[in-house]
Copies of this chain bind each other. A is one copy, B any other.
Amino acid sequence: MNIKTMKQFMARLFMVAAVVMLSACTMMRATGDMGVVIERATGSVSIIETTNRSILGRVENLGDLSHATVVYSRDQRYAYVFGRDGGLTKIDILNRSIAKRIIQSGNSIGGAISQDGRLIAVSNYKPGGVRVFDAASLELIADIPATYGKDNQLSKVVGLVDVPGQQFVFSLYDAGEIWVADFSESKQPKLKKFKKIGRQPYDALITSEGRYYIAGLFGEDGLALLDMWNLENGVKRIMNDYGRGKEKLPVYKMPHLEGWAMTGDYAFIPAVGRHEVLVINRKDWQEVKRIPVHGQPVFVMASPDHHKVWVNFAFPDNDTLQIIDTATLKIEKQLKPGKAVLHMEFTPKGEEVWVSVRDENRVRVYNTRTYEEVAQLEMKKPSGIFLTQRAHRIGL
């Protein structure tokens, strides 16, 4: 090698090094304003940031993402995506790449991350049960088949959430049971089973401090309530009129329980099959009021300041959002974001809200004070929106 070729070689090498360093620098960013948006039709997610409201990148090859949900690692670097096809994918949102992906079952419905961030739990339809993985390696740690009855049938599992004290709680759809799995002392959980809690629990929520677990019932009216501070009291039935009712109205979409809005005094709850949002007193679970709304409500979400509740609707009314004032209990605003408004997510301090409009292939961002649209982002059939603040919240 003579001096001239060596000089050329050096120059090229330095170019390469510079590009690598530069790309490392663009990756160096904080994660507090980041998030992912599920793109159902293409099996991808868009990685976004809410400060300048932009798309940072896209990660593909995530399988069937219908009804997909996401939880975050405690440092916010990894988004765990739970796919309908049993896929569990750990996405590095800084590197915008798949860190690890496994197919952990044949058909799954949701997941949760433990209080300490070290365990990932997935609830499965098939085979029915919960599987728990190491959050770092995605290696299987515990398998909890949802067996019930004399023949040890396996039940579909729904409504899986994390609870303080390194516990998970979930409901058995076919068995009508609620189970608590306690991982505080060992990687093999202690199980507590609550039986005959009601027919066909189809979804559940946990209140924001992690105390009250509430399961909705598909097979009968009413809700099942478990007080995590007083497990010895067992499951209690509340709101006996809540459900599909005796008339068995046509229900286009069972409302998500995670969409319940809890403010200081009230719970705002989507009525099942009716064009109403129910206002419930949180003290005694008695109905305070029914607010007539535009269609069958799906998500009923409180803004971080608890002053407004945003509501979206089932087909064929799913082009609309209504906003309820929690002080007056009246609708104060209606928006028409477009066809198939599927999900909403507030920025952590609530100044803006991100709204996915599937059939318009875009996410719209609104100022929550003025209701002005402040940004539009093109995405492929967007559905769920998940911001990294969820890393810091119990039950999300």
Contacts and interface: CB of A to CB of B under 8 A. Distances in A.
A166 interface: yes
Nearest to A30: B77
23 contacts: A21-B21, A27-B28, A30-B30, A32-B75, A33-B74, A74-B348, A74-B349, A115-B350, A115-B351, A116-B349, A162-B349, A164-B351, A166-B369, A184-B369, A209-B264, A209-B304, A209-B305, A210-B304, A211-B307, A229-B307, A305-B394, A349-B392, A389-B392
Number of copies: 2
Contacts of A10: 10
Interface in A279-336: 304-307, 327
A102 interface: no
Range of interface residues on A (Cβ < 8 Å):
35 or more
Contacts of A116: 349, 351
Nearest to A113: B349
B28 A31 contact: no
Interface in A252-299: 263-264
A388 interface: yes
Contact of A305 (B50, B211, B348): B211
Given A32-B75, A32-B388, 19 more contacts: A6-B6, A17-B17, A24-B24, A24-B28, A27-B28, A30-B75, A30-B93, A31-B31, A31-B32, A32-B73, A32-B77, A74-B349, A115-B350, A164-B305, A165-B369, A210-B304, A210-B305, A211-B305, A305-B394
A77 B369 contact: no
A32 B210 contact: no
A340 to B, nearest CB: 29
Given A32-B32, A391-B32, A307 B164 contact: yes
A306 B307 CA distance: 22
Given A115-B350, A115-B351, A29 B327 contact: no
